[in-house]
Amino acid sequence: NNAGITKDRTLAKMTQEEWQKVIDVNLTGVFNCTKAALPLIIQNQGKIINISSLVGLRGNFGQTNYAATKAGIIGFTKSLSKELGRFGVNVNAIAPGFIDTPLTANLPEEFKITVKKLTSLGRFGTPDDIANVTVFLASEESSFITGAVINVDGGLMI
């Protein structure tokens, strides 16, 4: 499950519509897709990999709606892993840090420089960094990992 939009504003300036749109895409979308595929996932002892965000772990100014959805995905992942473990289904989440994508392309340059200074590896991640962890979680090598949230953040959270 990988969907994410932002409608960044402080809560004081955020409209109900901006709040709801982010909730609908980022969190309700995870529910809808997982629910629809659940019978096949259980039947095949599949794996569910949800994409969250570091913002779901630490918050971010002007992103109450986005943070709520990404924190919700973490709670969803942990709870669902408890429900589906008895069927041999693994449920995990990836919490990317700042990744070089269209979602981060329009961030102010000064902010990007600050984030890179705070990141142990001194750079933004790439989509391949996320893909590599996703491939691992989808493989048999991760068969004893469930309910986990894996930060892919270049050391930003340490």
Backbone phi, psi, residue 117, to 5°? -70, -30
- In contact, 149 and 92? CB cutoff 8 Å: yes
- The residues that are catalytic are 66
Query: Exposed e or buried b for every residue in 140-155, given b needs 16+ CB within 10 A?
Result: eebeeebbebbbbbbe
Residues linked to residue 95 through DSSP beta bridges, in sequence order: 151
